[in-house]
Chain A
Amino acid sequence: MDHKVVGKSTQRLDAVAKVTGRAQYTDDFFERDMLVGKVLRSPHAHAKVLRIDATKAKALPGVVAVITPADLPTIKFATAGHPWSLDPGHRDVEDRLILTDKARFVGDAIAAVVAEDLLTAEKALHLIEVEYEVLPHVLTAEDAMAEGAPVLHENRPGNIVSSFGVSFGDVEKDFEAADRIIEGDYETSIVQHCHIESMSAFAFVDSDGRVVVNSSTQIPHIVRRIVAQALGLSWGRVKVIKPFIGGGFGNKQDVVVEPLTAAMSLAAGGRPVRYCMTREEVFIDTRTRHGMKLHLKTAVSNEGVLQGIHMQVLSNTGAYASHGHSIAMSAGGKFRPLYNFRSIKYEPKTVYTNLPVAGAMRGYGTPQIFFALESHLDDIAREMNLDPVALRQKNLITVGHMDPLSKNVVRSFGVPQCLEKGLELIRWDEKRKAHKGQTGPRRRGLGMAAFAYASGTHPVALELAGARIVMNQDGSVTLQVGATEIGQGSDTVFGQITAETLGLPADMVHVVTTQDTDITPFDSGAYASRQTFVTGIAVRKAALEVREKVLAVAARRSGLSPAEMDIRDRQIVETSLGRVICSLADVAMDSYYDRILAAPITSDTSANVRINAMSYGATFVEVEVDLETGRVEVLELWNIHDSGTIINPKLAEGQVHGGVSMSLGAALLEQMLFDPVTGKPLNPNLLDYKLPTILDTPTINAAFVETFDAAGTFGSKSLGECPVISPAPAVRNAVLDATGVAFHKIPLYPQVVFEKFREVGLIPDRQAERSVQHV
């Protein structure tokens, strides 16, 4: 299709603000008489708070308030950034209080101080006396489910948040009849989002008595609801403002600091209070990615046809449910529309432990599931002496596939082309040959992995998006959306969709990047890779309404019917002749100032999107493994995506690069570590937690197979989370190809890799040799 703006790499709308330092983030706003909040955190992984004495802290000059659980409502609330459900059975687990009288992990928030400045607040924390009754704690899902394990939440005596699963077909029958049954265990570690901007908010009570919260959030309208719920306020009494945000990756799709910050302001008589977490606090008391243990059992025919799969998942959600079981369930839905299994049994368990709280993180459980599945497929291929790519090709679904459970229909499916393209780009066959018969300490290998993902959450949750367009006097338009720009570039894409629809150049669409729940259209925010797909539909709808109104005004002027006219490059034209009738600005001026017919051209609309589009792709990677150091180096990597029509190629590439680097971090470096005895975090900082630096990150290549999906605006599908899914298993499979050693847990940190090589005898165990000599 011939587009003027869609499909072009127009410049990010916020780029100038960001390179000049003018983009204002939450901490860049200063209110008069602003106070500072700090939090007292539990040193114990599991403990009852018996007594809190804040007398000394309150007496310290400069301390305005000390808050303890006794000062706050005892309403338990859920923090997950999901739309509210009118069905009580479909709501998130309500297991949080703003401050707790029972610590469930090291760092759980017990009390808070509001003071004139940070030093005073920190001093005051030390003056709060807390008496704890220390309880036994559990750190692994297995221990938490064991007989006699300490109970974290009274209403979950077995520590299982949920064990609800799904299945279709008859997997037991398929196992009975199978030529081969292959099983494998896989494990992923707990990692963190590491958005570079901290978790931060400030709150005050305005002159109308309303609580105003400014926050670095992905979900302002949801924050409004949850702050109100947690504090027992009427929802309309809360207003949330979201300025520029310095990365979210799902961590800010959760309500973490806002209720407490609002409570701090209320305790200080409504004065503005800022609560900005330290980096340590971000690591300890925001959210993490669920560490998962997966057992996969697959029935395969001798010809390599995948028949049935039984997937058992243990998901460690930490001390509170947050997104709870949704993550395991959501991920269990994403892997299904890729390979043609005739039976699937998916049995996830989400389990409480005394660790930091796991929640949403880019990919929402899917990276863990695909790490297991795509590693497993390579293990199957190896065991059955099949080509790993051919095994996948043989088992792919086709267009028209309907998921038996969600009833989502696959309308576009570019995986075959993604695989072809990947093989070609990385020169698979040529390198395969070159790698044959390698000896010596450095071995090269090729690996690949495919993935499937969705666009938004339908049919599991409501997908409502809002958009508002106002045409200005000069024919430009101002667009407001409730979906948030968090760095992914959604504002720019919404601007392009609007510009394309209205025959405007990109720079004549002004997108309001700040969300304010008083004036921003209702929308649940930035998550689930829903912005371009879901909010894009609302934006397109609003732009089409504006177009209709523009042509109605032009019809008055020209006497032609709206159907005979079009908007092209800021002009109204008679479509058949290409003759210019008037400019868009003429129409706009009529709409504002015609003495009789004036009615400014606006649209304020929403879309309840009850359709989904599956996005797809694959990673192809070549690695070099140093047997003597255990170091895995990525030599070449391609991520090939079927995300439908790409609205902005340069921004799309940026999404791929960032997602891949996050997945490589999880594959090779990143892991939150805890003292197994005390549960204390061992590396809650950016030095000891190995976030990839520029020197750790290889050149990442992005490529696209542009299918057209009829459900999406201009044929587009999701992309944001997709790139974080397949790189980790592809790297793992490449290490298997290079060394013959199958790793079952990530990260492939050099020490782990080295020890495994020694264990399997790939390198000599010099230490063992020495001790033998001593004997």
Chain B
Amino acid sequence: MADQIMLSLKVNGQSHSLQVHPFARLLDVLREDLRFTGTKEGCGEGECGVCSILLNGRLVNSCLVPAVQAQGGEIVTVEGLADGQRLSSLQDAFLTQNGAQCGFCTPGMLLAATDLLQRNPHPDEAAVREGLAGNLCRCTGYVKIVDAVQTAAREAR
């Protein structure tokens, strides 16, 4: 189609080039075109944080990012957190601490927590809460999510 544009980006270390609608959201390109469906949509307007990904090392709501803005960019989604079969320490802590219930906010939480631990490897509880303030969860009361992030941080020591 003539009104499509070429987009090149790297997702979880792998290069992709594809034709997208100029208004396409990065979230839709990831989910629908590239089938990285681990990234979820909860509100489509940047309120819930469920669609959080890392774009060029920064935590963003992919529902608010036009795909063209990711041109040439490097993206990490939840599918890119594990090293093959080996889970990241955060993923592992979410398992052992029961950090996921329905699991819908979990990918975004994991990305926000990954971003937090990259910036601050040993956050106290207040810093964990500050770091995850943009991610909503209705199942857990956040208790075991905080536990999981602190466990992962401890184990990285």
Partner pick for A25 among B40, B44, B78, B141, CB 8 A cutoff: B40
Give every chain A residue within 8 A of B35 (Cβ-Cβ).
Answer: 30
> Would you call B129 and A694 a contact (CB within 8 A)?
yes
Q: How far is the CB of B104 from chain A (nearest CB, A)?
A: 3
State A653–B44 Cα separation when bound (angstroms): 31
Q: Which residues of A have CB within 8 Å of B91?
A: 19-20
Tally A-B pairs: CB < 8 A: 170
Q: Please indicate the chain A residues that have their CB under 8 angstroms from the CB of B129 in the complex.
A: 694-695
A189 within 8 A of B: no
The answer to the question of A278 belonging to the interface, with a C-beta cut-off of 8 Å to chain B, is: yes
Indicate if the CB atoms of A685 and B43 lie closer than 8 Å: yes
Give the complex CA separation of A693 and B39 in angstroms.
20
Chain B residues near A661: list those with CB within 8 A: 138, 140-142
Q: How far is the CB of A280 from chain B (nearest CB, A)?
A: 9
User: A693 CA to B47 CA in the complex, in Å?
Assistant: 11
A197, A488, A651, A695: the one within 8 Å of B40 (CB): A197
With A12-B98, A245-B102 as contacts: A30 and B32 at CB distance below 8 Å: yes
Q: Which residues of B contact A30 (CB under 8 A)?
A: 32, 35
A196-B48, A695-B130 known; A686+B101 contact, CB < 8 A: no
How long is the Cα–Cα vector from A654 to B101 in the complex, in angstroms? Answer: 8
A15 within 8 A of B: yes
Identify the closest chain A residue to B131 (Cβ).
A694
B72 at the A interface (CB under 8 A):
no
Q: Is A510 on the interface with B (CB-CB < 8 A)?
A: no
In the complex, what residue of chain A is closest to B128 when comparing beta carbons?
Answer: A694
How far is it, in angstroms, between the C-alpha of A11 and the C-alpha of B141 when the chains are bound? 19
Give Cα distance in the complex from A194 to B42, angstroms: 10
Whether the Cβ atoms of B133 and A695 lie closer than 8 Å is yes
- Asked if B43 contacts A21 (CB within 8 A), the reply is no
User: A721 → chain B, closest Cβ, in Å?
Assistant: 13
A471 to chain B, nearest CB (A): 28
A244 contacts chain B at the CB level, 8 A cutoff: yes
Which residue from A20, A486, A660 sits with its C-beta under 8 Å from B141? A660
Q: How many residues of A contact B (CB 8 A)?
A: 57
A69 — which chain B residues lie within 8 A by C-beta?
none
Is B65 engaged at the interface, CB distance under 8 Å to the other chain?
no
Pair A700/B103 contact, Cβ less than 8 Å: no
Q: Which of B41, B45, B82 contacts A20 (CB 8 A)?
A: B82
A27-B130 in contact given A11-B96, A12-B100, A661-B141 (Cβ < 8 Å): no
| Residue among A197, A653, A687, A691 having the largest count of chain B Cβ atoms under 10 Å | A197
C-beta contact mask, A168-208 vs B, less than 8 Å → 1, else 0?
00000000000000000000000001111110000000000
Q: Are B138 and A195 in contact (CB under 8 A)?
A: yes
For residue A158, CB closer than 8 A to chain B, the reply is no
Which residues on the A side are within 8 Å of B103 (C-beta)?
14, 17-19, 23, 244, 246, 487
B26-62 residues with Cβ-Cβ distance < 8 A to A are 31-32, 35-45, 47-48, 50
**Which DSSP category, helix, strand, loop or mixed, fits chain A's interface?**
loop
Q: Which of B78-110 contact A (CB under 8 A)?
A: 78-79, 81-82, 87, 91, 94-96, 98-107, 110
For residue B11, CB closer than 8 A to chain A, the reply is no
Name A279's contact: one of B32, B47, B134 (CB within 8 Å). B47
At the interface, yes or no: A650 with Cβ under 8 Å from chain B?
yes
B102 near A196 with CB under 8 A, answer: yes
Whether B45 lies near A685 (C-beta < 8 A) is: yes
CB contact between A11 and one of B32, B78, B95 (< 8 Å): that residue: B95
A55 on the interface (CB 8 Å rule)?
no
User: A19-B94, A246-B103 in contact; A194/B138 too (CB < 8 A)?
Assistant: yes
User: With A25-B40, A658-B140 in contact, do A487 and B101 touch (Cβ < 8 Å)?
Assistant: yes
What sequence of 0s and 1s flags, for each residue 126-157 of chain B, a beta carbon within 8 Å of any chain A beta carbon?
A: 00011011111111111111100000000000
* Given A18-B106, A27-B41, A654-B144: A694 in contact with B132 (beta carbons within 8 A): yes
Residue among A19, A20, A22, A119 with the highest chain B CB neighbour number at 10 A: A19
Q: Are A193 and B107 in contact (CB under 8 A)?
A: no
Give residues of chain A (669-702) contacting chain B, Cβ–Cβ below 8 Å.
685-687, 691, 693-695, 697, 699-700
- Bound: A19/B132 CA distance, A: 16
- Complex CA distance for A759 and B132, rounded to whole angstroms: 38
Q: Which residue of B lies closest to A195 (CB)?
A: B138
User: A691 and B101: CB pair below 8 A?
Assistant: no
Closest CB in chain B relative to A447 CB, distance in Å: 19
- A430 interface contact, C-beta 8 A: no
* Residue in chain A with minimal CB distance to B133: A695
A195-B138, A196-B137, A686-B47 given; A19·B95 CB < 8 A? yes
Binary contact track A1-40/B, C-beta < 8 Å → 1, others 0: 0000000010110111111111111011010000000000
- Chain A residue numbers with a CB within 8 Å of B77 are 21
A638 in contact (CB, < 8 A) = no
Contact A246 B40 (CB under 8 A): yes
Q: Is the CB of B139 within 8 A of A247?
A: yes
A662 to B101, CA, bound (A): 15
Task: State which residues 240-275 of A face B: CB under 8 Å.
Answer: 244-249
Flag whether A489 is at the interface (Cβ < 8 A).
yes
Judge whether A657 is part of the interface by a CB distance below 8 angstroms. Answer: yes
Q: Are A18 and B141 closer than 8 Å at their CB atoms? A: no
Least CB distance from B36 to A in Å reads: 7
A193 to B137, alpha carbons, bound, how many Å? 11
**Known contacts A15-B95, A20-B82, A697-B141: A279-B43 contact under CB 8 Å:** yes
CB–CB B106/A693 < 8 A: no
**Contact A195-B141, Cβ < 8 Å, known A19-B91, A685-B45:** no
Contact B142 A697 (CB under 8 A): yes
- B102 CB to nearest A CB, Å: 3
Please name 9 pairs of A and B residues whose Cβ atoms are closer than 8 Å in the assembled complex, sorted by A.
Answer: A11-B96, A19-B78, A21-B37, A30-B32, A197-B104, A247-B102, A487-B139, A653-B98, A687-B45
- Given A19-B87, A27-B40; 5 other pairs, CB 8 A cutoff: A18-B103, A20-B82, A278-B44, A661-B140, A693-B136
